[in-house]
Amino acid sequence: MADLRTDFLGIRSPNPFWLASAPPTDRKTNVLRAFKAGWGGVVWKTLGEEGPPVVNVSGPRYGAIHGPDRRLMGFNNIELITDRPLELNLQEIAEVKKLYPDRALVASIMVPCDEDSWKRILPRVEATGCDGVELNFGCPHGMSERGMGSAVGQVPEYIEMVARWCKAFTRLPVIVKLTPNITDIRHPARAAKRGGADAVSLINTINSIVSVDLDRMAPAPHVDGRGTHGGYCGPAVKPIALSMTSEIARDPETRGMPISAIGGITTWRDAAEFIALGAGTVQVCTAAMTYGFKVVDEMVTGLSTFMDAKGYRTIEDFRGLAVPNVTDWQYLNLNYVAKARIDQDLCISCGRCHIACEDTSHQAITATVDGRRRFVVKDDECVGCNLCVEICPVENCITLEHRTVGTDPRTGQPYAQPYANWTQHPNNPASSAGRAAE
Amino acid sequence: MASMATDGVTGWRLAPEDYVGNFADLSPPLTRHEAFVESERCYFCYDAPCVQSCPTGIDIPLFIRQIAKDNAIGAAETILSANIMGGMCARVCPTEQLCEEACVREHAEGKPVRIGSLQRHATDAIMAASAAAGRHPFPRAPETGRSVAVVGAGPAGLSAAHRLALLGHAVTLYDAKPKLGGLNEYGIAAYKTPADFAQAEVDFILGIGNIAVVPGVRLGVGTDLATLRGRHDAVFLGLGLGGVNALAGMEDQRNVVDALSFIEALRQAPDKAAVPVGRRVVVIGGGMTAVDAAVQARRLGAEQVTIAYRRGAADMKASRWEQELAQTNGVVIRHWMTPAGFDSRDGAVTAVRFAHRGADGSAAAEGVAIAADLVLCAIGQSFLAGSLGTGDLALEGGRIRVDAERRTTLPGVWAGGDCVAGGLDLTVSAVEDGKRAAIAIDAHLRATEPVSLLAGAA
């Protein structure tokens, strides 16, 4: 039986599944339900400074993109940080931590970008007995207009400055939550590291308008006829989060920095993928908001089954194993040849592979053979692009086969050739071979 | 008060509310959500096999995708532009033998996309919208000044009339019956077209305008082909099968009737409870009409209903779905039963005698009698060619010979539907006949002089 326990910056949790700072972690009632359901940890919904709390809209806060059968694929919100008094939240955090000392309990914080604000709040948070703080530099709506959230996360110098203050004012581990609404995630991550932050968490939500109401000619959902951009999350954003996680994991300046991964994690597999890219814990929100806290059962059991099957005893056994295999395009092996093959026994003759290839790619799949409806890959045209594999409705019907024996009829080159990449290619003017050719 | 166990032929065998349920929609419409879920199952195949197997060539993947993307009206326009009776076909087409049989998901998992149900979803939407707006969705082309006679307002005739009107011609639509629709109105089980759908569809089709309806006119009675040819630029014959095949000796028996008359009476009855039915009913035949008659007899309260067919299950013209419908309605289907005569008392039938040839038809025949107080004969219909007069219109196997464009051997005369040779005897193929003929007539008219000018010249 796999051991799912994690030790993230000294914060222990029975499994790597934490609930992200968000509506599900806004109050004691919810968090107790989450812990009872088996979640390994919780990042409490973002606390603001002392004083009158923020005010949320009383119209719709959420919008969504749906797939078939109204499966929620992408989710958008315009909710602000907690709208409950600071003291109430602090009191509840203390109570919950006492009730569940074995779970991770991290407090998310967002206060104005001045030293005093952070100096004031951090000791009070620390006094709750919570395990760490997460600096919310990510929320892209509402609070960012007030100079907080992603407005900070978009300026590496601010990240570094605030991280430094926090490390000075608390002994708790400091996690910096990054916004993806930037051009290169490595810069804010490096800034967090320079500021002394212990870890980063990412991604926060992405600026988004999920829909336009074509009757009202306004963003949908709307508040009294007008809408604003929100933050996008849910299954649809996972690929973006995976990429950004991998960039931080393999950047020479941030390599080895602990990462708590966030972004569309819905299943055990999503979690395993983030862990393979270096994440120490994963944070979930949309899946819980869609299905309730019980989804953690699938995640925990699925991850455990996977680890048992692979012989991974602990999370650390496979954490980061995929990182070395993430590379730049220029280092991909240009001599690797794969071609599609269609399993005629599995093929249901929908013909989509043919028309996709014919209309939009390389005209490499037949529609008929000897006058009969039949879909076969033409090796002399196939470039192994994988389009047909991805659009085929039948799993494993079309596969890409690595070719090693014989000659590629498309290029006339032997299949078996040693590794060679773009940096060595004669067509690359910057390569030594390219320079020699000139 | 009669009950299911009352001997003889009588109505009111069931409680009044039972009739409401029994003759309600056999396949209720999809909800909006069901339609979205089902439409997402379609793979939008290339050169889709379902389209190939639709006699009217409806672009099925396109209309299903339109439904999936919340455009049911656009979906209906896709359907109706190929098949103006898409609404009725969604209800009566043997989809399990046509589009749904060809669906790649049938091949893959034995569960095709429910194309018929989706087609109904879309066509219901456009018919409701059209009725609410009082506007037909397809605009007519500028008037050509040409006139076409369409004889027979069944699926073939209505399809031809609509397409001809669409193309700008003035149509005169003749029919023998008081109501238009042909077998859609008179020959299909009530639970397949509840809420007077057949007439709603007729109204929808006529909504295109420029179709003058002349009911109560039968070819050969009141008018004839020669007259119509002289009066119109072209003629389309969409005649039904006027003759009903009879069993030897049935005319001597009380309560032995043809199944179509039974179905017609049931369809036209304002109160289904009043329709008389036997306690024990035997239906002779193996086609759709036999199933429609048998199931409806059960739903009227007949205690025992048997379909007796002279060959095996695979030979039945009723689809497997229809056969199962009969069986789930408690109808017993017996195969290899060749009618051999009737028993009667006081002139009323008491039993049908058959020569039965064992389970697979190979055993030696033995005599079997099935008790019956009502016998419904559904052994086919025939075309009464006499109505055509003694013209030069060639027949083939007793029906009108036509070419691919549904042109008869008589100049200026086209034909389609049940009256032509080589058809499928389906609503959907009749609609296709009418459409093809109309397109051919249009091409012909645009290439020739109007009959009025010719008459004027003469």
pLDDT one-digit tens code per residue, A197-221: 999 999 999 999 999 999 999 999 9
Asked if A30 and A82 touch (Cβ cutoff 8 Å), the reply is: no
The closest CB to that of B47, out of A69, A70, A351, belongs to: A351
Q: Are residues A301 and A403 in the same domain?
A: no
A350 as an active site residue: the answer is no
On chain B, the residues whose CB falls within 8 A of the CB of A373 are 47, 49
Query: Of A325, A343, A360, at which residue does a domain stop?
Result: A325
Tell me, what CATH number does A60's domain have?
3.20.20.70
- Point out which residues pair with A107 in neighbouring strands: A44, A133
**Is there a single domain that holds both residue A47 and residue A174?**
yes
pTM here is 0.91
Chain A positions touching B44 (Cβ under 8 A) are 352
Cβ contacts of A71 on chain B, cutoff 8 Å: none
Amino acid present at A124: R
Alpha helices in B213-343 (DSSP H): 225-231, 259-268, 288-299, 320-328
Nearest to A337 by CA among A388, A387, A381, A402: A402
- Alpha carbon distances (Å) from B308 to A119, A379, A420, B243: 93, 58, 77, 21
Chain A nearest-CA residue for B104: A348
Specify whether A346 is located in the same domain as A205. Answer: no
Query: Do A176 and A262 contact (CB within 8 A), yes or no?
Result: no
Inter-chain residue contact B49 with A352, CB threshold 8 Å: no
Cβ-proximal residues to B355 (8 Å cutoff; 6+ apart), any chain = B337, B338, B340, B365, B366, B367, B368
pLDDT score, position B65:
97
Same domain? For A139 and A224 the reply is yes
Residue B169 contacts residue B442 (beta carbons within 8 Å): yes
Q: With respect to residue A277, please indicate whether it lies within any of the assigned structural domains.
A: yes
% of chain A with per-residue pLDDT over 90: 95
Which chain B positions have a beta carbon within 8 Å of A69's beta carbon?
36-37, 40
The torsion defined by the Cα of A232, A233, A239 and A243, in degrees rounded to 10, comes to 80
Interchain CB distance below 8 Å, B46 and A69 = no
Q: How far is CA A191 from the centre of its chain?
A: 20
Inter-chain touch A350–B45, beta carbons under 8 Å: yes
Interchain contact B271–A (C-beta under 8 A): no
Asked if B253 and B282 count as a contact pair (C-beta separation under 8 A), the reply is: no
Range of the domain at A344: 330-437
Question: Does A420 map to a domain?
Answer: yes
Whether A385 and A253 share a structural domain:
no
Residue type, B358: G
Inter-residue long-range contacts of B317-325, CB under 8 Å, 24+ positions, other chains counted: B317/B286, B317/B287, B317/B288, B318/B286, B318/B287, B318/B288, B318/B290, B318/B291, B319/B94, B319/B96, B319/B97, B319/B288, B320/B96, B321/B94, B321/B96, B322/B94, B322/B288, B322/B291, B323/B291, B325/B26, B325/B291, B325/B295
Note the pLDDT of residue A437.
66
Q: Which of A103-117, A165-179, B81-95, B213-227 has the least mean pLDDT?
A: B213-227
Spell out which residues of chain B touch residue A352, defining contact as CB-CB under 8 Å.
Answer: 43-46
Same domain, residue pair A232 and A248? yes
Six-digit token pair at B122? 């879309």
B17 touching chain A per CB within 8 A: no
pLDDT band at B452 (very low <50, low <70, confident <90, very high): low
Closest CA–CA distance from residue B257 to any residue of chain A (Å): 48
User: Where in B296-380 does DSSP place strands (E)?
Assistant: 304-308, 331-334, 337-345, 348-356, 366-371, 374-377
Is A218's Cβ below 8 Å from some Cβ in B? no
pLDDT at residue B256, rounded to an integer? 95
What is the average per-residue pLDDT within A147-163?
Answer: 94
Taking the C-alpha atoms of residue A218 and residue B69, their distance in angstroms, rounded to an integer, is 20
Mean pLDDT of chain A: 96
Chain B residues touching A213 at Cβ < 8 A:
none
**Can you tell me the mean pLDDT for B297-325?**
95
pLDDT at B359: 67
Per-residue confidence (pLDDT) for residue A313, from 0 to 100: 98
Residue range A39-64: mean pLDDT, rounded: 96
pLDDT confidence band for B453 (50 / 70 / 90): low
Selected for mutation to probe chain A from B42, B45, B70, B71 (highest A CB count within 10 Å) is B45
State whether residue A68 sits within 8 Å of chain B by CB: yes
Do residue A85 and residue A145 come from a single domain?
yes
pLDDT exceeding 70 applies to what percent of chain B?
A: 98
Q: What is the DSSP letter of A189?
A: H
Q: Out of A70, A367, A394, whose CB is closest to B47?
A: A367
Contact A350 B37 (CB under 8 A): no
- Note the pLDDT of residue B424: 87
Rg (chain A; Cα; Å): 25
Residues on chain A touching B69 (C-beta within 8 angstroms): none
Residue A348 in contact with partner chain B when CB distance is under 8 A? yes
- Give how far the C-alpha of residue B35 lies from the chain's centroid of Cα atoms, to the nearest Å: 25
Instruction: Return the half-sphere exposure (C-beta side, CA atoms, 13 A cut-off) of residue A199.
Output: 26
Q: Is the pLDDT of residue B144 over 60?
A: yes
Q: How far is CA A171 from CA A132, A254, A325, in A?
A: 9, 22, 36
Is residue B106 less than 8 Å (CB to CB) from chain A?
Answer: no
DSSP three-state, residue A372: strand
What span, in angstroms and rounded, lies between the C-alpha atoms of B139 and B161? 14
Q: Is the pLDDT of residue B455 over 50?
A: no
Using CA atoms, how far apart are residues A88 and A98, in angstroms rounded to an integer?
16
Whether A67 is covered by a domain: the verdict is yes
Looking at the structure, tell me whether residues A299 and A365 fall in a common domain: no
> Tokens 């005169």 — which residue?
B172
Is B46 in contact with A351 (Cβ distance < 8 A)? yes
- Count CB pairs under 8 A between chains A and B: 38
- H helices present in A292-406, as ranges: 295-310, 315-318, 352-360, 387-391
Pair (A268, A409) in one structural domain: no
Residue A192 belongs to some domain of the structure: yes
For residue B179, pLDDT over 80 is answered with yes
Q: Give the Cα separation of A79 and A298 in Å (integer).
A: 28
Nearest by CB to residue A350, choosing from B36, B37, B43, is B43
- Can you state the angle between helices B320-328 and B288-299, rounded to 10 degrees? 20
Provide the H-helix boundaries in A143-257: 150-153, 156-169, 186-194, 238-250
A73 touches B at CB < 8 Å: no
Mean of pLDDT values over A12-20 = 98
Neighbour count for residue A157 (Cβ, 10 Å): 11
CA B28, A72, A183: angle at the middle one, nearest 5? 150
Task: Please check the confidence at residue A438 and state whether its pLDDT lies above 70.
Answer: no
Question: Lowest-confidence range among A127-131, B399-403, B421-425?
Answer: B421-425
Distances, alpha carbon B382 to alpha carbons A251, B239, B267, B407, in Å: 84, 11, 22, 21
Residues A70, B48: C-beta atoms closer than 8 Å? no
Rounded-to-integer distance, Cα B297 and Cα B304, Å:
9
Neighbours of A382 (CB within 10 A): 25
Min distance B458 CA to chain A CA atoms (Å): 54
User: Which of A325, A343, A358 is the last residue in one of the domains?
Assistant: A325
CB neighbourhood size of B448 (10 A) = 14
Is residue A363, in this structure, part of any structural domain at all? yes
Q: Which residues pair with B53 in a beta bridge?
A: none
Of A325, A346, A362, the one marking the end of a domain is A325
What's the mean pLDDT in A5-13?
98
Q: At residue A368, what are phi and psi to the nearest 5 degrees?
A: -140, 150
Residue B451 banded pLDDT, cuts 50, 70, 90: low
Angle among Cα B430, B264, B115 to the nearest 5 degrees reads 45
Task: Tell me how far apart the alpha carbons of residues A367 and B130 are, in angstroms, rounded to a whole number.
Answer: 40
pLDDT at position A293, please?
Answer: 98
Q: Does A69 touch chain B (CB under 8 A)?
A: yes
Q: Show the domains of chain B with their CATH numbers.
A: 2-16+244-381 (3.50.50.60), 41-133 (1.10.1060.10), 147-240+411-457 (3.50.50.60)
> Which residue in A has a C-alpha nearest to residue B105's C-alpha?
A348
pLDDT tens-digit profile of A71-121? 999 999 999 999 999 999 999 999 999 999 999 999 999 999 999 999 999
Amino acid B222: pLDDT: 81
Residue A367 sits at the chain B interface (C-beta within 8 Å): yes
The answer on A340 and A285 residing in a single domain is no
CATH code, domain with A413: 3.30.70.20
Q: Is the pLDDT of residue B221 over 90?
A: no
| pLDDT score of B362 more than 90 | no
User: Does residue A93 fall inside a structural domain?
Assistant: yes
CA quadruple A372, A373, A379, A381: dihedral sign: positive
A373 inside 8 A of chain B by CB = yes
- Give pLDDT tens digits for A357-403: 999 999 999 999 999 999 999 999 999 999 999 999 999 999 999 99
**How far is A349 from chain B, CA to nearest CA, in Å?**
7
Q: Is B424 an 8 Å CB contact of chain A? A: no
> Is residue A335 domain-shared with residue A410, that is, in the same domain?
yes
Query: Are A188 and A306 members of one domain?
Result: yes
Q: Regarding beta strands B374-377 and B256-258, do their DSSP bridges make them parallel or antiparallel, or are they unpaired?
A: parallel
Catalytic one of A113, A130, A139, A353: A139
Counting the structural domains of chain A, the total is: 2
Give the minimum alpha-carbon distance from B39 to chain A in angstroms, rounded to a whole number. Answer: 9
Position B458 scores a pLDDT of 36
Lowest pLDDT segment from A18-22, A282-286, B241-245? B241-245
Mean pLDDT of A307-328: 98
In a domain, A1, yes or no: no
How much is the pLDDT for A197? Answer: 98
